[in-house]
Structure 1
Amino acid sequence: MKVEIAYALPHEQKIIALQVEDGCTAQQAVVRSGIVELFPEIDPAGTPMGIFGKAIKDPASTVLREGDRVEIYRPLIADPKEVRARRAAKMKAQKAAEAKQE
């Protein structure tokens, strides 16, 4: 069956299509794709993965289906909640400053 392995950096992305046998797991497909040779920072045993944007808890036991795309996730640079909170505080400060000027 045909599956894809996807990995993206801010400046580069790679999608590798490959044929695997029925019963192949997400982790096995990542190893067989050879993507680790292109991006050595990927650890197939410990890097978070998903299928079409839906996180999978255990890539070593998640069996793939025809046409699945395994996505390898990078660690977040910043916590999204923290970024939203800072942005909201900044907007609140701007509105307060504008209200004082009026």
Structure 2
Amino acid sequence: MRVQVVRAWPERFEAEELELPAGATVDDALRATRLPREGVAGVAVHGMRVRGDAPLADGDRVELLGPLLADPKESRRRRAQAQAGRRPR
């Protein structure tokens, strides 16, 4: 089966097509890829975060996830403050 492994960082995008045997898992794809793995904070398949033992299907896209650039809680707080400042009083 054919699987694509992608690494999309703000400054660059890399992709590699792999041919894996039926029944392969995310861990199998990670072992087979030549893409750099430093800085990887997690893995997703078609945008859904998965564990390494997740099975893959033909045509799947395995995404190497980078670290968060901002704390989600802090980002929500800043957006709420900005919206509160724009509301008519």
Residue 1 of structure 2 is aligned to residue 4 of structure 1: no
Normalised by the size of structure 2, how large is the TM-score? 0.84
The Cα shift of 1:95 comes to: 4.8
* Partner of residue 43 from structure 2, selected from 23, 34, 49: 49
Higher strand share goes to which structure?
2
Higher helix share goes to which structure?
1
- 2:75 matched to which residue of 1? 83
Q: Which amino acid aligns with 1:6?
A: V
Normalised by the size of structure 1, how large is the TM-score? 0.74
User: 2-side partners of 1:66 and 1:49: how far apart?
Assistant: 17
Q: Which amino acid aligns with 1:51?
A: V
Q: How does 1:13-28 map to 2 (within 5 A)?
A: 13-28=13-28
The Cα shift of 1:29 comes to: 0.6
**Identity score, percent:** 30
The Cα shift of 1:94 comes to: 5.0
Root-mean-square deviation over aligned CA pairs: 1.9
The alignment of Structure 1 onto Structure 2 pairs a total of residues equal to 89
Gap change, CA 1:42 and 1:30, over 3 Å in 2: farther
* 1:40-59 residue CA offsets vs partner (Å, 9 max, x unmatched): 5156xxx4111100111x21
Conserved 8 A contact 2:39-2:67: no
* 1:25-75 residue CA offsets vs partner (Å, 9 max, x unmatched): 11111220111xxx25156xxx4111100111x21x111110011111111
User: 2-side partners of 1:93 and 1:67: how far apart?
Assistant: 46
Task: Give the ranges of 4+ consecutive aligned residues of structure 1 lying more than 3 Å apart after TM superposition.
Answer: 93-96
Q: What are structure 2's unaligned runs of at least 5 residues?
A: none
User: 1-side partners of 2:21 and 2:46: how far apart?
Assistant: 20
